[in-house]
Amino acid sequence: ENGRYPVSSKILRKLSQALNVTPDFFIATDEPNLEDTETLTREMLNRKMAERSRESVAVGARNGTRMIPVVSITAAGRPLAAFDDYPTGTGSDYVDCPRDVADENAFALRISGDSMEPVIPDASTIIVAPNMMPREGKPVVAKLESGDVTCKVYQRRGDNVILAPYNPAHDVQIFSVRELQWVYPVMKVTVDLYH
């Protein structure tokens, strides 16, 4: 690492196997190609995410549930721009999803804020079904044209969508349907009592 001592072949072999590269990868005669390093890192992360997804599916099958990805934190208050666009079926974490949520693309979000209290408290986890239609008077997650994502109660009035909080301390929001990228129903809520 500092050029003073040669790396043992045993360590080099273990590193090569862990990173899925040949030992020659570590023997550089000139400056490393940063583009190759970025590609290698991206490929390794994709493999790890796929491996983690397979492990989560196996755990869910044993529990009589299935595992779905947690893809971000969403606001229950002012809209939040922290929604990550993960590939379908992948996320930063995985949670149990009851079998009665039939949407194969269901995903989970963590709630941040108090506008949906007492029904959906701060720090709870919601399960969202993107292939199902939202229903009047039920909670949804909506992504605005600005990229912000919020959790509110859904009402449709002609070309407008009303997103209302449960908590009366927060304001009702009204949007034209053109101002919304998508609106997905919230199917389940899991509350963490010790957050």
Q: How far is CA 164 from the centre of its chain?
A: 24
What CATH code is carried by the domain that includes residue 39?
2.10.109.10
For residue 68, the enclosing domain spans 29-190
Domain count, the chain: 1
18 part of a folded domain: no
98 part of a folded domain: yes
pLDDT tens over the chain, length 195 residues: 555 666 677 877 887 787 777 777 766 555 555 556 666 666 666 666 566 555 555 555 556 778 988 887 776 665 554 555 667 777 778 899 998 998 999 999 999 899 999 999 999 999 999 999 999 999 999 999 988 889 999 999 999 999 999 999 999 999 999 999 999 999 999 997 776
8 part of a folded domain: no
153 part of a folded domain: yes
21 part of a folded domain: no
91 part of a folded domain: yes
9 part of a folded domain: no
67 part of a folded domain: yes
As a whole number of angstroms, the distance between CA 20 and CA 63 comes to 33
